[in-house]
Amino acid sequence: MAIRNIVRVGDDVLAKECRPVEVFDNKLRQLLDDMQDTLYEANGAGLAAPQVGVLRQVCVIDVGDGLVELINPEIVHVEGEQSGAEGCLSLPDEWGMVSRPQRVTVKAQNRKGKWFETTGEDLFARCICHEVDHLHGIVFTDKASRMLTPEEIEQMQKEQEQQEQKGKRRKRRR
């Protein structure tokens, strides 16, 4: 396993359509393992293969409930709408307001090639959409209604830190 370099916006690879995975072998498993390590090292919620320079339909997501690997993902159902701040490991320190479905069902393959479906809500739904967009050459700035100012980003980070502190205090009381 290894930490891979994350491609930044401006690199042509992020604007290209990814090819489906057809061979489920050790090379794919290595890519998935490396993407997991890279995601955790970067403290992200999701990572798509083009973000590490690989034009394959592969992404990994972890919003705090454990890692989900999606190979050849296809969104098959969406419900509702949510709008909120969204960022990307390929655009560090940039955030924009993006509308996404509230609930998403995705059909994908696992690392062994077996098909499955999973449904996500809230942040997980947002991440599914964000990462699947990467596989089609779309970055969140293409969908953002507006980008956030540095002051808004600072305020958002303060609020997040406060929420994390509240969560830690609750855990200590239990």
User: Are 82 and 121 spatial neighbours (Cβ–Cβ below 8 Å)?
Assistant: no
Q: Is position 131 annotated as part of the catalytic site?
A: yes
Active-site option among 69, 131, 151, 152: 131
Write down the H helix ranges in the chain.
26-41, 122-135, 150-173
Long-range pairs for 10-17: beta carbons < 8 A, 24 or more residues apart: 11/53, 13/50, 13/53, 13/55, 14/50, 14/51, 14/90, 14/134, 14/137, 14/139, 15/137, 16/50, 16/55, 16/137, 17/55, 17/135, 17/136, 17/137
Burial class (CB in 10 A: 0-12, 13-18, 19+), 161: exposed
Catalytic residue positions, numbered: 131
